[in-house]
């Protein structure tokens, strides 16, 4: 069971227990017959590196579909887009085009490389909307940990905020219309960043917040919050050793002040990720949120 309490205008917090019932949403273990799946599509350039994504879409789509970009975690330094291929299959089964993207890693490529690459992926998908059957006005992003941070950046940064990079498709916008953040950091300069995470943030930024205060500010999603940003759904555990739940609270306060629709589900006792009934429920809520935000009303 879960109960909801009003936090502020347009924002709700759901406090979840571990007694949630099993929900019927299942993530496929192989490509469903109803899905067309393509691997390693080059979506742009990051310096001298080719940037690639894996893309899933409904086989029998008869009109442009909303698109969901999936971004993996790994402390901006590791991870593999293929780890979320199954999520793109799940979204495609439900009428979305979905891409899981690769991006450059720190410390070899510090900020803003990862942000530039994520923005480039969104621009590529919009530039190729006709080819892949995408509605370019209905693009969302979901990410996990560092991938959630990048997804948040896509939701709150407009072209005028910079860090578009030179990867390609410069005529297309990079901001998305809806974001789901699974335990993503929001304010890298904050005092609540745990000691365990400080070396990770240092490698991402290329220095400590004290050494590089302006890049740290520029790399924090909370910096860019303003009216008209994408609605955001947060999932965050209260015992996360890497990203404290106070990061989600701080972002919610900023979104509330700007009048941006958002809500958060705080999983009491959960760490940096979860499974079982909690995962089933959060997947269901993720689908409900994207359906609400990205699918046109009839």
**Residue 172, pLDDT score:** 98
**Residue 2, pLDDT score:** 27
Residues in the chain: 298
pLDDT beneath 50, residues of the chain = 1-23
Helix axes 113-127 and 146-156, enclosed angle (nearest 10): 60
**CA torsion, points 25, 26, 27, 29, in degrees to nearest 10?**
-170
Query: Are the CB atoms for 194 and 241 separated by under 8 Å?
Result: yes
Please write the tens of the pLDDT for every residue from 153-194. 999 999 999 999 999 999 999 999 999 999 999 999 999 999
Query: Tokens 């891409």 map to which residue?
Result: 99
**Residue 53, pLDDT score:** 98
Query: Under DSSP, is residue 102 helix (H, G, I), strand (E, B) or coil?
Result: coil
Instruction: Report all structural domains of the chain as residue ranges with CATH numbers, in order of start.
Output: 2-294 (3.40.50.1820)
**Residue 12, pLDDT score:** 34
140 Cβ partners below 8 Å, 6+ apart? 66, 67, 68, 69, 176, 177, 178, 179, 180, 230, 290, 293, 294
Q: How far apart are CA 51 and CA 190, in angstroms?
A: 31
Radius of gyration of the chain (CA): 18
**Residue 13, pLDDT score:** 34
């Amino acid at each position: 069971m879960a109960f909801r309490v009003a936090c502020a205008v347009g924002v709700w917090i759901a406090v979840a227990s571990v007694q949630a019932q099993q929900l019927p949403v299942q993530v496929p273990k192989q490509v469903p017959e109803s899905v067309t799946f393509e691997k390693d599509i080059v979506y742009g350039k990051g310096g001298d590196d080719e940037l690639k994504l894996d893309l899933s879409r409904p086989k029998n789509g008869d009109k442009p579909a909303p698109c969901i970009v999936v971004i993996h975690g790994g402390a901006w330094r590791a991870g593999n887009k293929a780890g979320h291929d199954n999520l793109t299959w799940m979204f495609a089964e439900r009428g979305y085009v979905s891409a899981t993207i690769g991006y450059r890693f720190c410390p070899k490529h510090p900020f803003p490389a990862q942000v530039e690459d994520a923005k480039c992926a969104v621009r590529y998908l919009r530039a190729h909307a006709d080819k892949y059957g995408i509605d370019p006005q209905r693009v969302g992003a979901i990410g996990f940990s560092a991938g959630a941070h990048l997804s948040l950046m896509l939701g709150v940064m407009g072209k005028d905020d910079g860090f578009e990079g030179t990867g390609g498709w410069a005529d297309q916008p990079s901001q998305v219309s809806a974001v789901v953040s699974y335990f993503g950091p929001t304010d890298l300069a904050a005092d609540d960043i745990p000691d365990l995470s400080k070396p990770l943030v240092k490698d991402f930024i290329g220095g400590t917040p004290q050494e590089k205060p302006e890049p740290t500010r520029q790399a924090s999603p909370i910096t860019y919050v303003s009216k008209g940003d994408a609605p955001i759904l947060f999932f965050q555990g209260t015992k996360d050793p890497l990203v404290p739940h106070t990061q989600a609270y701080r972002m919610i306060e900023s979104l509330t002040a700007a009048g941006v629709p958002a809500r958060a589900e705080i999983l009491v006792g959960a760490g940096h990720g979860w499974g079982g009934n909690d995962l089933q429920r959060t997947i269901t809520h993720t689908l409900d949120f994207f359906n609400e935000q990205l699918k046109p009303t009839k």
